[in-house]
Amino acid sequence: MEIRILKYFLTVAREQNVTRAAEALHITQPTLSRQIAALEEELGTPLFKRNNKKITLTKEGILLKRRALEILELEEKTVEEIQSCRELVEGSVTIGCGEYEAIETLAEICASFRSKYPKVQLHLHTATADVVRNRMTQGLVDIGLFMEPISTEGLDYVRLPGQETWVVSMRPDDLLAQKTQITKEDLLDKPLILPERPNIQSELANWFGKDYEHLNVAFVSNLHTNAAIMAKHSLGYPITVRGTIRFWKEDALVHRELFPKLSMPTVIVWRRNIPYSQAVLKFIEEINAFQA
């Protein structure tokens, strides 16, 4: 006895007319009549009382109707449970990132993902791009958030909206704090704190031009927090992206944009053609859905 035939039977029982039931099922009336006759033959008993105006259920038909409704309800519940089990995603996703304004976009992606898959735990690993890339190679980080330039060889990626804007940090009582923008001439005689990442140093070298080789580089720092402490003690001027300084109080340090403006895009990446857990695959789906 097929589920499909039980649905045919219940439709005829509801409509009390084979022609109307056939129309509701989008099949021909002769086809439906043959299916009902075959069902009665299989069960060895008539299921309907037939007259010129309508058909009604026999005693056996009433019993089958009750059982058929139970069977179809159980079938629907079983399908829902199997689908629910299939969609139950657990585990963890490790995201490596620096301190960028693009973290706001990452937070939006994470919020949408968590609403769909609340049993997945997200791990945030904050580090420089080189450390994050190395951990991705080792399989310790699933998703990376990088500021360009970054080599995307062997990676799939999505470029996020917006740009990371470069600024110089200083004490509020510093003379440079009176300026709205900072030019390279303002910095040539100052002790600077530059980012550690070679690719970023190359971008700053392009911005400074021929004067880059003559800069007074007091410190090289991988993340901004400790560099900011050095600046607070008047030991140097950190050059960094605005995203790293959003939560510093203005009474400790102020920040001025470089002029001409220097800005760089960010990308969110994952390794290409490797097996991922269901949780990571769903997170990648969320990234691509955000981009769309």
- In angstroms, the Cα distances linking 122 to 89, 96, 104, 234 are 13, 11, 15, 38
User: Do 225 and 286 have their domain in common?
Assistant: no
User: Do 47 and 32 have their domain in common?
Assistant: yes
Cβ–Cβ under 8 Å, residues 202 and 209: no
Of 31, 65, 87, the position where a domain reaches its end is 87
**What is the domain range of residue 124?**
91-162+266-291
Cβ–Cβ under 8 Å, residues 54 and 18: no
End-to-end CA separation in angstroms for the chain: 46
* Widest pairwise Cα distance in the chain: 106
pTM for the model: 0.67
User: Do 32 and 175 have their domain in common?
Assistant: no
How many whole angstroms separate alpha carbon 255 and alpha carbon 74? 65
Instruction: With H, G, I as helix, E, B as strand and everything else as coil, classify residue 171.
Output: coil
CATH number of the domain to which 104 belongs: 3.40.190.10
Provide the residue-wise pLDDT of the chain in tens; the chain has 292 residues. 789 999 999 999 999 999 999 999 999 999 999 999 999 999 999 999 987 778 899 999 999 999 999 898 888 877 766 665 556 788 899 999 988 899 999 999 999 999 999 999 999 998 888 899 999 988 899 999 999 888 888 999 999 988 999 999 999 999 999 999 999 999 999 999 999 888 889 999 999 999 999 999 999 998 788 899 999 999 999 999 988 877 777 788 999 999 999 999 999 999 999 889 889 999 999 999 987 6
User: Do 130 and 55 have their domain in common?
Assistant: no
What stretches of the chain show up as alpha helix (H) in DSSP? 3-15, 18-25, 29-43, 59-87, 103-116, 129-137, 184-187, 198-208, 224-232, 278-291
User: Do 155 and 270 have their domain in common?
Assistant: yes
User: Do 260 and 277 have their domain in common?
Assistant: no
User: Do 98 and 82 have their domain in common?
Assistant: no
Tokens of 276: 């991922």
pLDDT score at 8: 92
pLDDT score at 214: 92
Tokens of 139: 């399989």
Task: Provide Rg for the chain, Cα atoms.
Answer: 34
User: Do 271 and 152 have their domain in common?
Assistant: yes
How many domains, in total, are found in the chain? 3
User: Do 15 and 63 have their domain in common?
Assistant: yes
User: Do 100 and 66 have their domain in common?
Assistant: no
Cβ–Cβ under 8 Å, residues 128 and 220: no
CATH number of the domain to which 58 belongs: 1.10.10.10
User: Do 185 and 205 have their domain in common?
Assistant: yes
Cis peptide upstream of residue 149 (ω within 30 degrees of 0): yes
User: Do 19 and 144 have their domain in common?
Assistant: no
How many whole angstroms separate alpha carbon 252 and alpha carbon 140? 36
Tokens of 36: 């009902």
